[in-house]
Amino acid sequence: MPVLAASSSPSDRTYSVAVGVILVFAALEILAIAIHFGAEYHAERATLPSLKTPAAPASAKPGTTPLPAQPEVPSSAALSASDRLLKEADVLRERGDTANALARLQDASERDPKNPQVLAEMATLYEAIQLYDRSNETWRKIQDLGPSAGPLYELADMKLRVGAAATAAPGVPMDTAGKPLDAEGLPEGSVFGVTNIEAEQIPDPEAETNLRLKIEIKKRQGVAIDHSKLRIMVLFYDSVDNDKIVATDADVNYEWMNPKHDWAESNPETLIVTYLRSKAHSITSEAALSAAAASVTPGKNSSKSKKRGEPAASTDSLSGDSGQRRYLGYVIRILYDDKLQTVRAEPARLINDAPNPSVSP
């Protein structure tokens, strides 16, 4: 009897091979997926530290802690700011905007509390809007500054002695400083006063400006005077480039109409002062500007004169005000026994805005 041997059919072998191939591919796919996600995981771990590194230097350097803000102290910048605010206030005042002008001045006073020009402008504005208590308080601040405030110290002293125009009824005439005039046309409590000023432009083809002032100065009736105690100051001012106000460097001459000018033969006496700026006039120093201010003492030389083209005064250095100068106006002050009698100015703002002369006339 024949013996049969067991054997697999061809279809079984094919199935086994197919299953094996599928298993191999499945294993390869799983391996590929594992490799892919493993690489992304390592890449993320490597990226996270790099994203955090910018924050590290902020805490890594303790020495870079911001410094605390320093307290404000007066500086040249603050001073220049107060000057700018003063100019802005002046413009606003001329426009009639008193409220904003006062705001600018108060700001300037906070920056530079010892600026007499700022304080004087504030006192004048307070007086104009009839806040007399504040006006007197501000004048007192100028008085507290002492003689270092210059002519404004004398003005403040007079204001506080006589009082602001609070006692003056509407329509009562006053001098430029706001001091009421009495029946004689003199400031109340004064021995001398200016009763009239005539300004005349003299035609002169060689001059840029040739101006003559006739100033009538009156003495109070029945009062004995000492000529040596009388001081009359006439100061002219120019504008530089229509902006800065400076004492003039023009030629200034003074002459009494009456050679005796003792107020015995005539009252008032007339002082003639001329301002001459020739077309060829050169810029001089600030010392020369102050020297041009008139200081007339009765009983001494009755006139001062210079030849045309002669400098107003000798100088040691050139002036820094090298811009275009134009005549602006004048301030007249009369002192008797070292007490301010009256102030006249044209324009009136020069009382506050004009610089103090660097040399006492």
Which residues, including other chains, have CB under 8 Å from residue 113's CB and lie 6 or more apart? Answer: none
Q: What per-residue confidence (pLDDT) applies to 333?
A: 93
- Most confident listed range (62-66, 293-297, 355-359): 355-359
Asked if residue 185 lies in contact with residue 174, where contact means CB atoms within 8 angstroms, the answer is no
- What's residue 63's pLDDT? 44
Banded model confidence at residue 9, pLDDT cuts 50, 70, 90: low
Q: Are 230 and 243 in contact (CB under 8 A)?
A: no
pLDDT of residue 131: 75
Q: Are 101 and 125 in contact (CB under 8 A)?
A: yes
Nearest-5° Cα angle at 140, 134 to 141: 95
Choose between 53 and 86: higher pLDDT.
86
Dump pLDDT digits (tens) for 287-343. 444 554 445 556 555 444 444 444 444 333 334 556 788 999 999 999 999 888 988
C-alpha neighbours within 13 Å on the C-beta side of residue 63: 0
Collect contacts of 92-96 with beta carbons under 8 A, ≥24 apart. 93/121, 93/125
What CA–CA distance (Å, rounded) separates 162 from 335? 15
DSSP letter at 261? -
pLDDT band at 235 (very low <50, low <70, confident <90, very high): very high
Q: How far apart are CA 339 and CA 171, in angstroms?
A: 27
Q: What is the pLDDT of residue 299?
A: 55
Q: Over the chain, what is the mean pLDDT?
A: 74
Predicted pLDDT at 199: 92
Using DSSP, state whether 314 is helix, strand or coil: coil
At 360, the pLDDT band (50, 70, 90 cuts) reads very low
Contact 223, 191 (CB under 8 A): yes
Q: What is the pLDDT of residue 134?
A: 81
Q: What is the pLDDT of residues 116-146, one digit of tens each?
A: 888 988 888 887 776 777 888 898 899 899 8
Whether the pLDDT of residue 165 is over 60: the answer is: no
Residue 160: is its pLDDT beyond 70? yes
pLDDT over 70 at 57, yes or no: no
What CA–CA distance (Å, rounded) separates 269 from 148? Answer: 32
pLDDT given at position 230:
93
What residue ranges define each of the domains in the chain, with the CATH number in brackets?
A: 77-167 (1.25.40.10), 183-361 (no CATH)
What does the pLDDT read at residue 16? 77
Alpha helices in the chain (DSSP H): 10-52, 55-60, 76-95, 98-111, 116-128, 132-145, 151-162, 286-291, 350-353
- Provide the pLDDT for residue 268: 92
Token digits of residue 212: 């003559």
pLDDT digits (tens, 9 = 90+) for 202-219: 999 999 999 999 999 999
Name 329's bridge partners. 237
Q: Please, are residues 118 and 88 in contact by the beta-carbon 8 Å criterion? A: no
Mean pLDDT of 70-85: 63
- Distance CA(109)–CA(1), nearest Å, equals 139
Which of 99, 73, 101, 72 has its CA nearest to residue 85? Answer: 101
Type and span of the H or E element at 295: strand 294-296
246 vs 170: CA distance, rounded Å: 34
Q: Using alpha carbons, list the distances in angstroms from residue 6 to 11, 12, 14, 311.
A: 15, 13, 18, 146
Q: Residue 175: is its pLDDT beyond 50?
A: yes
**The predicted structure's pLDDT at residue 275:** 96
Answer yes or no: are the C-beta atoms of 149 and 116 closer than 8 Å. yes
Most confident of 20-29, 59-68, 81-90, 243-252: 243-252
The pLDDT of residue 3: 46
- Which pLDDT belongs to residue 103? 83
- Please tell me the distance from the alpha carbon of residue 280 to that of residue 348, in angstroms, as a whole number: 30
Q: What is the pLDDT of residue 346?
A: 87
Q: CA of 324: how far to CAs of 94, 183, 282, 315, 347, in Å? A: 24, 44, 11, 19, 20
Contact 146, 112 (CB under 8 A): no
Q: What is the mean pLDDT of residues 181-197?
A: 87
Cα 202 to Cα 210: distance, rounded to the nearest angstrom: 5
Once rounded to an integer, what is the mean pLDDT over residues 228-244? Answer: 90
- The Cα 67–Cα 9 span in angstroms is 93
